[in-house]
Chain A
Amino acid sequence: MTQIVEGDRRLAIEEAAARVIADPANSRVAAGLLAEEIADEAAAHGVRSFSGSIAATHAAGLIQDGLAEFVAAHAAELDALVSDAADERFEYFGLRTVYDRYLLRHPVTRTVLERPQHFFLRVACGLSETVAEAAELYRLMATLSYLPSSPTLFNAGARRPQLSSCFLLDSPRDELEAIYDRYAQVARLSKYAGGIGISWTRVRSRGSLIRGTNGHSNGIVPWLRTLDASVAAVNQGGRRKGAACVYLETWHADIEEFLELRDNTGEDTRRTHNLNLANWVPDEFMRRVEAGEDWSLFDPKDVPDLPDLHGEAFTRAYRAYEAEGRHTRRIPARTLYGRMMRTLAQTGNGWMTFKDTANRTSNQTARPENVIHLSNLCTEILEVTSDAETAVCNLGSVNLAAHLDGRDGLDWERLRATVRTAVRFLDRTIDLGFYPTPEAGAANRRWRPIGLGVMGLADVFFALRLPFDSPRALELSTRIAEEIALAAYDTSADLAAERGRHPSYDDTRAAAGVLHPDHYAAAASPRWDALREKIAATGLRNSLMIAIAPTATIASIAGCYECIEPQVSNVFKRETLSGEFLQVNRYLVADLRERGLWTQATRDGLKRADGSVQHLPGIPDDLKLLYRTAWELPQKALIDLAAARQPYVDQGQSLNLFMAAPTIGKLSSMYAYAWKQGLKTTYYLRSRPATRIAQTTVQPAAAVEQVACSLENPDVCEACQ
């Protein structure tokens, strides 16, 4: 009997979840049922309270003794903090994500040993020294105001608390042993749920002489094939697949083969299907593209110091080596740039990240020997690396949607308070974390970088009715970034006064009185002057503080739009390891409901138009403007928002760009603009499939009638060009 009831509830959950388009309230219905299901599952293990869940997970060997002792000593106080009513804030997809991936499970039965609120409080306790601290962080998480990154959510309080999201490894030295040593480091870092960025710029190119054997090198591709296989083999605790991004500087002689690594045609022995690819582009290259000049490609063996130079010094050395004839080949810079654009269009990969901008503005690069050699898996982390130091970053993001003041703006005071707490806990993770390699531990303790980001910017714009490309949106977005940076720097200065500066503080630009906004003329203000004075006295606890990460999973948990991104569609499907989930823009639905327009015909029309409201009959113009999708917004606006925010983002931004039907001409204009606007990095180029499935659950348009407008098939539709 109970089995039938449980089966029925599961079906009811799936039914409700699949019907969110008809009524977004079904998402909460499904979430409510799932919360009951989870509570029953935990109760089957005797778990009825937070302290009970800690006892059960400790008995199962999943958490540290220290955490269990802390909770046992404060059981009554901590149990009283738990608010199960907070579960009502979850959308179905968020709760389902928590249930499938984050709740601790019994090693044998695989059923859960804790409820969602127990999980939040466990993470909070895992990062806290006192009940008061735990209460503060728990409150932010329970209200979905701030969430630490996934590795912290997975591992806080665990036996091996690997809390960091990203690792950045310098290129292996150009020798066999160094390369194999890097594979081992990558595997160890990947095992504990870290995303990997790794440069390959120092490794000699194809045709280079190998003195020891008097043979010739096959270049970087075979090595990257091995890296590809190694990364794919590491399954991060069964929770997600390992992932890595390889960076290559634009002058490396194997650059063209590198750009083909993700093609799905050609010789498979020269392809890497799992690696992500990024271009680490010097300014000199972009200048030559603009001027229509030639570009020289070098074997790193012939120019061993180029990877460690940037800015003027790089340009000087590059030109000198060219003049000496050290290059292996010369090609028109535009030809290579065109190939880079083609790779972006065909694979979404081959991200454009800008070496000189990143180094020029970084707090860590005051001394010439400290160089940023690459960004990370998601292009938001920019930290110095060397053979002996693997850069690490601990991340967390503020949910801006949870900081609306209920009237017409943001609750700035609460936003600042959230940032202060977030920075303290991010700083804490540096000391509590387990580092899979000594190179990572050494770097993180010396530089103590953190990466505080945001999510839900699109929610804020919808709630305040600001089109993404409006001047007020730009102004608000920039103010948000500045407020967050001010509060973060201020907190780090306080932490420095309490606990000391980070050990390499004297090697930073801040030690010389230069803060990140000082690199941008537009960003000067008295508020920063005051802060600069304070920092002159206290120093900083952290060398870097702000990074806009993609927040794919934690935005799902929080039920908001990802980081700084516009919506991709008013109706879309999320595919994750735990299944497929339908999402609908609830702001749009509320607006259409209010105007009596949320009908079956509108819903079918919306699906048929792939989530666009632009050509639906009867939709008023103000709603059409507000509810444009990423495909319908000018990408210039996205770049302008990012550029205006950049002074207050001392690391990078995972900025996706969207183009339904990319051409080389449009892409080359767009990325040249991004570089000129001073962006440090960009991320995926998102495009759309050239063909699509026939929809099964929408009434078909009748015979012979032509589809009037289809973004999917732009060649037959002039209206969309």
Chain B
Amino acid sequence: MLLDPGMDLTLRPMRYPDFYERYRAAIRNTWTVEEVDLHSDVADLARMTAQERHLINRLVAFFATGDSIVANNLVLNLYQHVNAPEARLYLSRQLFEEAVHVQFYLTLLDTYLPDPDERVKAFAAIEHIPSIRDKAEFCFRWIDSIGDLRSLENAGDRRRFLLNLICFAACIEGLFFYGAFAYVYWFRSRGLLSGLATGTNWVFRDESMHMEFAFSVVDTVRAEEPELFDEELGEQVGRMLEEAVAAELAFARDLCGDGMPGMSAEQMRAYLEYVADQRLVRLGMPRRYGTENPFAFMELQDVQELANFFERRVSAYQVAVEGNVSFDENF
């Protein structure tokens, strides 16, 4: 079974081809930081209000460390316990993507904050800014929660592992990051920070896949060991999500202050609750909030893009192509 302890090396026969396909699909979507053009963002920043500037600076400070935290959990916990080589292939790929995200946000920070002291402060935000510190502590607590587990020997161990996995998928990548992306798309809907939005599109795409991979690990474990998914686990997941919503809401209050047209802490609360419900549904658990999505601009992120190539780099191309020259295939 997937969570049985060990270091399985056997790829044929392959037990979980779906994980391998996810790995291949991820490779086809390789992007590099050099493709993101941030130059028009600098002009946008110059004409922002102090309140918007504050929001952006805090957001960049969060981004500065967010992906590194996720990468740490992957290395310290996930890779060790998900015992299938094809799943570890995906995780290796995910680790690379987290590195690209870290590089992207570093480049962003260097571009947005020309003053070296400001840059240092942004990385220190995790210690000094309460709304960011609280989110980080939430993450560290869950990383540490299974730090003592060398192998998943019994049902109790496996439930502890599942909670860690679900936390990083549903609460951190699936809620903290989703919240942060919403601010970016709010700016984008007003024609601002298109460079950040381009990079965010790609990060968003990657994060979505990470989350989906984690959820399909959950699905697999559920199919193999349904008894692990008891009421207690459901309750724990619910409480964890509540805690995450509260931490992200405190961050939103810090970012939005008294609110701006189209973006306020109250709207963000509704959005986070809405997203949290979606995570619960995906996990086969009942909704907790029943809140509607307040952000019309997020609807835009769900449909195919048709970039006007004069203006924006099209983000839809694939990296690996296969096959040989021939003249009689259907097209």
Contacts and interface: CB of A to CB of B under 8 A. Distances in A.
Contact of B306 (A15, A240, A574, A713): A574
B9 interface: no
Given A338-B325, A696-B178, A715 B32 contact: no
B188 A697 contact: no
A580 interface: yes
B324 A664 contact: yes
Of B34, B301, B310, most buried by chain A (CB within 10 Å of CB) is B310
Interface in A290-345: 290, 334, 337-338, 341-342, 345
A243 interface: yes
A691 B323 contact: no
Interface stretch (A381-389, A416-424, A667-675): A667-675
Contacts of B29: 689-691
Interface in B212-229: 212, 215, 219, 222-223
Contact of A697 (B31, B32, B293, B313): B293
B215 to A, nearest CB: 8
A692 B206 CA distance: 8
A689 B188 contact: no
B331 A575 contact: no
Interface stretch (B51-59, B104-112, B189-197): B189-197
Given A577-B194, A694-B208, A582 B321 contact: no
A503 B283 CA distance: 74
A687 interface: yes
Nearest to A345: B321
Contact of B325 (A581, A664, A703): A664
Given A577-B311, A577-B312, A670-B331, A699 B323 contact: no
A578 B194 CA distance: 9
A466 to B, nearest CB: 22
Contact of A573 (B30, B37, B303): B303
A665 interface: yes
Interface in B62-121: none
A694 B25 contact: no
A664 B27 CA distance: 18
Contact of A338 (B205, B215, B222, B324): B324
B25 A713 contact: yes
A347 interface: yes
Interface stretch (A6-14, A51-59, A81-89, A534-542): A6-14
Interface in A235-262: 240-241, 243
A176 interface: no
A579 B190 contact: yes
Say what secondary structure dominates the interface of chain A.
mixed
Contact of A687 (B194, B204, B222, B317): B317
Contacts of B303: 569, 571-573, 582, 607, 610-611
Contact of A692 (B205, B275, B298): B205
Nearest to A639: B331
A691 B211 CA distance: 12
Interface in B302-325: 302-325
Contact of A669 (B21, B309, B311, B328): B328
A691 B208 CA distance: 9
B308 A576 contact: yes
Contacts of A661: 318
Of B31, B190, B303, most buried by chain A (CB within 10 Å of CB) is B303
B10 interface: no
Interface in A632-685: 634-636, 659, 661-670, 672-673, 684
Given A7-B261, A580-B189, A290 B327 contact: yes
A21 B215 CA distance: 29
B330 interface: yes
Interface in B8-54: 18, 21, 24-32, 34-35, 37, 40
A552 B222 CA distance: 49
Interface in B251-266: 261-262
A436 B185 CA distance: 38
A348 B317 contact: yes
A666 B328 CA distance: 8
Contacts of B330: 634, 666, 669
A105 to B, nearest CB: 14
Given A576-B311, A582-B300, A696-B301, A687 B30 contact: no
Contacts of A195: 310
A579 B189 contact: yes
B31 A264 contact: yes
Nearest to B296: A18
B195 to A, nearest CB: 11
A700 interface: yes
B314 to A, nearest CB: 6
A109 interface: no
A612 to B, nearest CB: 10
B298 A697 contact: yes
Contacts of B311: 240-241, 575-577
B28 A669 contact: no
B326 interface: yes
A688 B302 CA distance: 14
A130 interface: no
A610 B327 contact: no
Given A18-B296, A669-B329, A694-B211, A346 B284 contact: no
A664 B301 CA distance: 31
Given A610-B304, A694-B212, 11 more contacts: A273-B313, A345-B317, A347-B317, A568-B306, A573-B305, A574-B305, A667-B331, A668-B329, A669-B330, A697-B298, A703-B222
18 contacts: A18-B189, A18-B297, A243-B309, A264-B34, A273-B35, A273-B37, A338-B324, A571-B303, A576-B312, A577-B40, A579-B188, A664-B323, A688-B318, A689-B315, A696-B278, A703-B282, A704-B222, A715-B24
**Which 4 pairs from chain A and chain B are nearest by CB?**
A18-B296, A703-B284, A690-B28, A663-B323
